[in-house]
Each structure stands twice: as C-alpha cells, then as structure tokens.
Structure 1
Amino acid sequence: MAGVILDFSFLAGSWPLLAGAAANTVIYSAAALVIGLPAAVVLCLCCLSRQPVLRAFGRFYVSFFRGVPLLVLLLFAYYGVSGVGLSTTPEQAAIAALAVCEAAYLAECMRGGFLAVPKGFVEASLMSGLNRRQNFVYIVLPTAVRLTLPSIINEVTMAIKASSLISVVGIAELTRVSQNLASSTFQ
C-alpha cells in the first residue's frame, strides 16, 4: 500500500480566510464572556439570595438556559425574534445567544465556589474581629475565586468551542471555514 502524501500547498492562499475566521471565533467568544460574566455575577447573587423571589428567578434562569441547547437559542435569537417584529443582525443574535448561555453556566460555577467556602473560615474570621464586609472581602471572596477559577477557565474553553455553532446564523467562524476549505479542495 502506497503511503499517503499530504500536500499543504493549498493552505498558502487560505491563510487570510482562516485568520479572519479565527479572529471571528475569538471575538464572538470574548464578547459573549464579557457580557455574560457581569450577568453571571448578578445571577449568582440572586441564586444565593435570602429573598425567595430573587432566588427563584436565579434558579429558573440557570436551569432554563443550561437546559436549552445553544443551537436552539441561536436560531431563536436570529429567526424567532423576527417573528415578533424585531430585526437582528447575525452578529447581534450570536453574541446575545452565547452571552445568555454563558451567564447561566458561569453563574453556576460561581455559586458552587461560594457554597464550597468552608463555614469554619467564616466563623473563624468573624471570631477574630472582622466585620461581615471585611470577612467577605478578605476571606470568602478570595477563597471562592480560588475554588472557582478552574471551572471558569473550563467554561471559557467551552465558550470557544460552542462558538462553532454561530455559523448557523451566517457568521464565518473557524470550524465552518475549515470545513468549506476541506470540501472544496478534498484535503
């Protein structure tokens, strides 16, 4: 059986397309995270709130948007919104769908981090004379951030991977452009 020789010469003319698509992937993922992170903080606070209405809202949002597939959200944000008389661009629909989805996932990561802070840390800091605000700033928040950081980094990776779905609304991102190049050159 003859060895297969790969010819990468076709990539010479494809670099601009691939670079632009990679930039789109990074831009849309970053925009979704920049919008989703502050929303996630608010949602996390809602989920941890002692107010039943806020807690119910936070839990509903997280459950709903973690349960609905991102592809459905993208299609609804682009095609479904036009059914009620609003028009959106593919870019707006992609960023909005990615952001609401990321907000739900990031809120759950943060909630888990705050709930994982040992109660003994809080009690010990309060007994040592720190007030509630100091306790939160110096003890709870740094501990929660340290506990949450791996899952947030994982979610950033998942956001970049999930951005491959934005091609369904007509945005040229890295996966779609690579597939198009592969199908046109058979390599």
Structure 2
Amino acid sequence: MFDFTAVVPYLPQLFRGLLSTIGVSFSSIALGLVLGWLICLGRVRSGFWISKICAVYVSFFRGTPLLVQLILVFYALPSVGISFPPVVAAVVALTLNTSAFQAEILRAGFRMLPEGQSEAARDLGMSPLQILLFIQIPQVLRSMLPALTNETLDIIKNSALVSAVAVHELMRTAQTLASTTYRPLEFFVVAGLLYLLVTLLTARAGRWLESRMRMV
C-alpha cells in the first residue's frame, strides 16, 4: 500500500539529491552549448579535415549509449592516467554527449539561414566575424531554441544514469532510501514527481525565453 508519509522524513535528502541533479544537468548543458558551437562551426565553417573530425565526434556521441560514455569516462580514463571525481566525471560525460546533439541542432539552424544573407552583409562592409556574431548566431539561437530546450529536458532526465558512477543525485538517493526503508514504490514515485517538476519549470522557462527572443 502506498504510504507517502513514509517519505516525508527523508524529503531533505531527496531535495539535496535534486539540487545535485540540477547542478550536474545545467552545468553540462551550458558547457555543452559552448562545445556544441565549436563543433558546429567546425562542420560549417572549417576545412575538410576539421569538418570530418567533428562529424566523427558527433557520430560517436550520438550513436553510443550515454551509460557507456559515462563508464568510459569514469572507469576507462583512469587506466591512461586521467581520473575525475564522480561529479566531474558525470559533468564531463554529459557535456560530451549533449555537445554532439546541440552541434547538430545548431548546424540545422545554420542551414535554415536565407541564401545570400552573408553576401549582402559583406557588401555592407561587415567582416566574417561580425556576420557570425551579430547576424547568424542570433538567428540560429532564435530559430532553434525549442530544440535546445528539448535537449535540456533530455539531459535532465538522462542525468539519472549518473548514479551508475556513484554520483549522489536524485535517482541514487532514491535508490539508497528505497533499499534501506523497503519502500521502493514511494521513493521512486516521489523522485519521478521531482523530475517532472524540474522539467515542467525548464520547459516553461524555455517558452518564456522563446517569446522574449521573438520580441527582439
């Protein structure tokens, strides 16, 4: 029988796990956006070899499971002398993963730009860097913001996998409490509701930002 009162004494621990989930997720999204831009520009504005290297990167991180990537970062890298604490390893793996998806989202935005726009801007005396910063990037962000918001939601949900590398985020906290109290249903339901709350607030923030950018 479901008994929510069994969870109440452990809510502070669940909220601490939720804060860890939020920190890991949004740190990864922010870093992934920076790396994603670099990869995107490597594919659309660079030479043949750089473009191919970026394409291989994207294919690998989009084509392999996130859990495998987490295990490789946490367990395989120490064998070559590179080791990270669990939280850092989780952020690194999520960043590498989301940067590949964000790069493709941004590249799709570049492909939607009107033909001849760059030539017109150059005729007005703008440099390639000015065209990129003041014309192309704002348009790409504005048009692809819904897709970037969806990627953020996916990372928040996929962050549950970082429990596999001993990060005490929301899911691992729920697993620990469920095993010690023998109340798995209650703790996993509450954890699911907390994930839902964060994703709903994030989606709402994305819609608000989208409406603000349309006004600019």
- The answer to whether the superposition gives a TM-score over 0.5 is yes
Query: Cα RMSD over matched residues?
Result: 2.1
Percent identity, please: 34
Larger Rg: 1
**2:85 corresponds to 1:89:** yes
Alignment equivalent of 2:28, drawn from 26, 29, 32: 32
Distance apart, 1:172 and its partner CA:
1.9
In structure 1, how many angstroms separate the alpha carbons of the residues matched to 2:122 and 2:161?
A: 48
Q: Does 1:22 align with 2:23?
A: no
Is 1:131 aligned to residue 129 of structure 2? no
Query: CA offsets per residue over residues 45-87 of structure 1, 9 Å max, x none?
Result: 0010241111111111111111111100111111111222333
**The residue matched to 2:82 in structure 1 has which SS?**
coil
Q: For residues 106-159 of structure 1, what are the alpha-carbon distances to aligned partners after superposition, in whole Å with 9 as ceiling and x for unaligned?
A: 1111111011112154566566x3635454444433322221111111111111
Matched, 1:142 2:138: yes
Q: State the Cα distance separating 1:12 from its structure 2 match.
A: 1.9
Any idea what the Cα deviations from partners look like across 1:94-114, whole Å, max 9, x if unmatched? Answer: 111111101111111111101
- Structure 1: any 5+ residue segments left out of the alignment? none
- 1:175 maps to 171
SS at match of 1:86: coil
List alignment gaps of at least 5 residues for structure 2: 187-216
Deviation at 1:34, TM superposition (A): 2.3
- For structure 1, which segment, 65-74 or 142-151, has the greater mean C-alpha deviation from structure 2 after superposition? 142-151
Q: Distance in 2 between matches of 1:11 and 1:89?
A: 30
C-alpha distance in 1, partners of 2:142/2:28?
23
SS at match of 2:20: helix
- CA distance in structure 1 between the partners assigned to 2:71 and 2:84 by the alignment: 12
- How many residues in Structure 1 have an aligned counterpart in Structure 2? 182
Decide whether aligned partners of structure 1 residues 169 and 135 sit closer, same or farther in structure 2, where only a CA change above 3 A counts.
Answer: closer
Please point out which of 102, 105, 110 is paired with 2:106: 110
